[in-house]
Amino acid sequence: NAGVTQTPKFQVLKTGQSMTLQCAQDMNHEYMSWYRQDPGMGLRLIHYSVGAGITDQGEVPNGYNVSRSTTEDFPLRLLSAAPSQTSVYFCASSRRLPSDEKLFFGSGTQLSVL
Amino acid sequence: SQKIEQNSEALNIQEGKTATLTCNYTNYSPAYLQWYRQDPGRGPVFLLLIRENEKEKRKERLKVTFDTTLKQSLFHITASQPADSATYLCALLMDSSYKLIFGSGTRLLVRP
């Protein structure tokens, strides 16, 4: 029972570098999302997807891209990393749309941008 | 736009007492409100969901209320234990979209 799997767990980048945070779920969930968590700020929604081929912006989308080519995978891309993107990133999924469905979270990726 | 407010100060209580955490929202009342628990270094874990017409929901030692007039949800843990120490987050839909947003959470510390 893997659930929601995020890789890597830790990453250090230099300003301007690019990278992709991976997220995969094996529960056949329609809805997937990415959050970042900063001290005192709580979880902030970056992007979300309601199904394969459909993505939309959340509260803080600038600097991030996503795609959803399969039901299982929802990668988050940082095209040109900035120190302001230092944070803990969580991927989450739910069986259907999140209004009355609980979210299942991954264990997070701790990203530092120097 | 919708905003969620949770007390940023930690709640420190004695084991065996009831912990009460508050979640306030600013705009329209959502049809559903969710509560999650988060331990240090881990992702949040779902606890309870309450619908706007339910007023109260219980699960073992947990109880959630939902007052759409006050725009508030209360989360209670009865007979609290040190193992209940964690950060508790409330979440609801931002608007008519599918954006589930979270409050900043309240840290609960239960002293033995």
| Nearest residue of A to residue B44, measured between CA atoms | A105
Q: Which of A4, A35, A100 sits opposite B32 (nearest CB)?
A: A100
Percent of chain A with pLDDT over 70: 97
pLDDT tens digits, residue range A13-62?
999 999 999 999 999 999 999 999 998 778 999 999 999 999 999 999 99
What is the distance in angstroms between the Cα of A25 and the nearest Cα belonging to chain B?
14
- Per-residue pLDDT band for B78 (boundaries 50, 70, 90) equals very high
Instruction: Judge: A90–B101 Cβ closer than 8 Å, yes or no.
Output: no
Q: How far apart (Å, rounded) are the C-alpha atoms in residues A82 and A64?
A: 11
Average the pLDDT over A67-84 and give the result: 96
Mean pLDDT, chain A, whole residue set: 94
Share of chain B above pLDDT 70, in %: 98
The mean pLDDT of B12-37, rounded to a whole number, is 91
Using the Cβ of A56 and the Cβ atoms of chain B, whether some distance falls under 8 Å is answered with yes
Mean pLDDT, chain B, as a whole number? 91
- Beta-strand ranges (E) seen in chain A are 4-7, 10-13, 19-25, 31-38, 42-51, 54-57, 64-66, 76-78, 87-94, 104-105, 109-113
Which one-letter DSSP state was computed for residue A95? S
Please give the residue of chain B at the shortest CA–CA distance from A45. Answer: B101
Between CA A35 and CA A21 the distance in angstroms is: 12
